[in-house]
Amino acid sequence: MELTDEQLVGRALEAREHAYAPYSHFAVGAALLAEDGTVYQGCNIENAAYTPSNCAERTAFFKAVYEGQRHFSAIAVVGGPEGQPVSDWCTPCGVCRQVMREFCDPDSFRIIVARSPEERRSLLLRDLLPEGFGPEDLGHHRADETGGDAA
């Protein structure tokens, strides 16, 4: 069974419930869809020192990579003030966009931002990170281009 965008957003909303945001009180959830259909959920995790904090998108990516996954097709992202329903668009920060660029084809990887499962927008990574810097800029190939891990 293939996951719909609406279902992927629902999984991001579930992930948002696990956010640890005692400083910003801004809870974010993400649901990363691997090409094989596996979904990896992530939430933002804050830290009193601020810089060790981690965004929901990177939490999902790092979980997936740890589990051996390297091929992704889409991510759904939702966020807003803690304890309130999502009411506005929440796009990935620049650091998260760069992490996506490491593992995803900017011309096909979709970023779904949503206010609800029914109200959503789908963007391509290339639109959010134009002329992004990727493994090929260092003379390396992505795992999906070579059949193995990026060298």
4 to 33, 94, 106, 140: CA distances (angstroms) = 10, 26, 21, 33
Q: 25 and 13 in contact (C-beta within 8 Å)?
A: no
> What percent of the residues of the chain are helix, what percent strand, and what percent coil, each to the nearest 5?
30, 25, 45
User: What is the 8-class DSSP label of residue 132?
Assistant: -
Cβ burial, residue 38 (10 Å; 0-12/13-18/19+): middle
The verdict on whether 57 is a catalytic residue reads yes
Q: Considering the candidates 2, 6, 46, 57, report the single residue annotated as catalytic.
A: 57
In the chain, DSSP finds a helix count (H) and a strand count (E) of 5, 5
Q: Could you give the residue numbers annotated as active site?
A: 57
